[in-house]
Structure 1
Amino acid sequence: MNPILQTTINKAKTIPISEERKAILQEFIQYIQQKVDAGKTVNLNFICTHNSRRSQFSQIWAQTAADLNGIEAACFSGGVEVTEFNERAVNSIKRAGFRVTKNGLENPKYFIFHSDDSEPIVAFSKIFDDSANAPTGFAAIMTCSHADENCPFIPGAEARIPVRYEDPKAFDGTPEESEKYDERSLQIASEMFYVFSKIKK
């Protein structure tokens, strides 16, 4: 693993999580635990409106946390509109220490690696029911209020769990842009590592 990524993960694990957030994450933990207890793969689809920032961060960090905790999980992401994986978020993932390769120009696919021998995490903007995602038997993790409130039904989802995050888009074009993207990425990392650390194998 890239030493920068290891440092980022170590930092994420030290971030305090409030009791209020832990209560929100408990349903998420219970869903994963039930799947593990049943010997089934954990399928998670992180959903926000444009599938460009928060849902991508969540997919990447959840897959990384699952892999490093030895939990068999397949993490996806999607939205209600296709845009692209925002370059500001991509740059934040690179700063965190992930190895990233890019394929294509319009709505490119990014292949993200947390270690030399890991399978790539494939990230690009898509509708939540895109063929790249699990069609059934997954938990829909709603990472933004807009998608949560405007998608009352997610076909194929066996659970719907709101885990909302503030959008770093609010800081686009400001001097705080990079800092706020990294802050959001780190918050999501901290919560994903917390969730998977609670799973008993």
Structure 2
Amino acid sequence: MTEPIRILFLCTGNSCRSQMAEGFAKALKPGVIEAWSAGVETHGLNPRAVAVMAEAGVDISGHASKLVDDLPDLEFDYVITLCGHASENCPFFPGKVKRLHVGFDDPPALAKDAASEDEALAHYRRVRDEIRDWIQGMPENLK
């Protein structure tokens, strides 16, 4: 049996996209991926992200928004940035870590002018599904 791939999902505020990616990686790829998430800032866990993940059968309600510095001293195989700001401001990781950028739209930005809660949640669901589909392609899509 091979060791799991250790991945840090990094976003600006660790409130939505990186939390979704961590949740899906843990739910869909146990034994294949060990997942963590963090931000270059902290914005708190987004309640709409929690809600749409619950709809998909993944509970992230116990997650917390955290900085990279809040994580224990871990060696990652990959640091994957999920937004442009995190990619541009990604801290240095020593060792053999590979950096990869896979951008996804920002649900809170898309939903800020929504006319209803249903319209707002539709943006979260679309991005959630895109992240889930990408996670399902792991580890092959990491090359």
Q: Structure 1-normalised TM-score?
A: 0.61
- Answer yes or no: is 1:83 the counterpart of 2:26: no
Structure 1 residues 144-153 or 50-59, which shifts more? Answer: 144-153
1:156-180 per-position Cα deviation (integer Å, ceiling 9, x unaligned): 6611111111101121361221111
1:91-115 per-position Cα deviation (integer Å, ceiling 9, x unaligned): 1111222346x5xxxxxxx1xxxxx
Aligned residues: 137
For structure 1, list consecutive stretches of 5 or more residues without a partner in the other structure. Answer: 1-35, 103-109, 111-122
Change (3 A) 1:149 1:45: same
Q: CA deviation at 1:192?
A: 0.8
Cα-Cα RMSD:
2.2
Contact map agreement 2:11 2:18 (CA 8 A) in 1: yes
CA distance in 1, matches of 2:59, 2:18: 19
Q: Structure 2-normalised TM-score?
A: 0.83
Contact map agreement 1:43 1:73 (CA 8 A) in 2: yes
Structure 1 runs of 4+ off > 4 angstroms? none
Change (3 A) 1:65 1:153: same
1:58-110 per-position Cα deviation (integer Å, ceiling 9, x unaligned): 1111222212xxx432100000112211111111111222346x5xxxxxxx1
* Map of 2:26 onto structure 1: 63
Q: How does 1:1-201 map to 2 (within 5 A)?
A: 39-67=2-30, 71-99=31-59, 102=61, 110=62, 123-132=63-72, 135-151=74-90, 153-155=92-94, 158-170=97-109, 171-172=111-112, 174=114, 175=116, 176-196=119-139, 198=140
**Identical aligned pairs, as a percentage?**
31
Structure 1 residues 80-89 or 50-59, which shifts more? Answer: 80-89
CA distance in 2, matches of 1:80, 1:185: 21
SS of the residue 1:58 aligns to: helix
Q: Which has the larger radius of gyration?
A: 1
For structure 2, list consecutive stretches of 5 or more residues without a partner in the other structure. Answer: none
Contact map agreement 2:77 2:98 (CA 8 A) in 1: yes
Contact map agreement 1:43 1:139 (CA 8 A) in 2: yes
